Amino acid sequence: MEIFIDSANIKEIEKWLAMGVVDGVTTNPTIMFKDCVYDIEVGAKRIAALLDPLPLSVEVVTNNLDEMLSQAELFSSWAPNIVVKIPQITQDGIPCCGVINALENRKIKVNATATLSLGQVILAAKAGATYISIFFGRVADEGGNATEVIINSVKWIERWGYKSKIIVGSIRSVGDILSSAMTGAHALTIPPQLLSKMVDHKYTRETVKQFVNDAQKAKRMMDKAITETTIK
């Protein structure tokens, strides 16, 4: 299972990348705005260079299918490791499967995003999407069983041999991370603040503190014994 960081914050990406636990980065217009990345091209090129050859997902910013194609062509020209995020449907409910298929046929990798159902997964996989992002939190918001959607999606893809990889996004808690990690999903994309919470534990801190204190006590006793022996 791969772990992507769901962020456009360069410092956070650098920090977690250096730890060897990050396999890529996902962004969207909201994340870029929140992280003060107002120029998509500048931000994407900087992150892509930092990650190379690991993937960076960058999302189109239009509701028009033809513009999605042209934006995807542009975005993918910025760096070879850029994956273009295409929504499952437009805000008017128009399917984007044709866009996904056209881009993949042009050797542009697509991350089919804003996925909330197995039906959407099936169509995106058949259209050829390299990645399909299932939004865990938003499925739950609508009263759905996100874990079930992910498990069934992975099973269906593996049963029929499609290339698509399932990414779990819209993760809002460590509980979401752990639940998603047991579904067989190919990747989780996690906000940096949740990566910090994931590794932290109150009793791990206390245990490490005890070990360090006891080691220091042992050293003091050893130093004392050496001093007394020298005096004698």
Average pLDDT, the chain: 96
In the chain, the percentage of residues whose pLDDT exceeds 70 is: 99
Alpha helices per DSSP H over the chain? 10-18, 29-34, 40-51, 65-78, 97-105, 118-127, 136-141, 146-160, 174-181, 192-199, 202-231
pLDDT average, residue stretch 194-199: 96
State the Cα–Cα distance between residues 218 and 22, nearest whole angstrom. Answer: 38
Check pLDDT > 80 for residue 231. no
| pLDDT, tens only, 133-148 | 999 999 999 999 999 9
Count CB atoms within 10 A of the CB of residue 140.
17
Report pTM: 0.93
**Which one of 3.20.20.70, 3.40.50.300, 3.40.50.720, 3.40.640.10 gives the CATH number of domain 2-200?**
3.20.20.70
pLDDT average, residue stretch 186-213: 96
85 is catalytic: yes
| pLDDT, tens only, 20-67 | 999 999 999 999 999 999 999 999 999 999 999 999 999 999 999 999
Point out the catalytic residue in the list 34, 85, 197, 232: 85
Pair 112, 133: CB distance under 8 Å: yes
**27 backbone dihedrals φ, ψ, rounded to 5°:** -135, 170
Beta-carbon contacts of 211 under 8 Å, excluding residues fewer than 6 positions away, are: none
| pLDDT, tens only, 57-90 | 999 999 999 999 999 999 999 999 999 999 999 9
- Domain boundary assignment for the chain: 2-200, 201-232
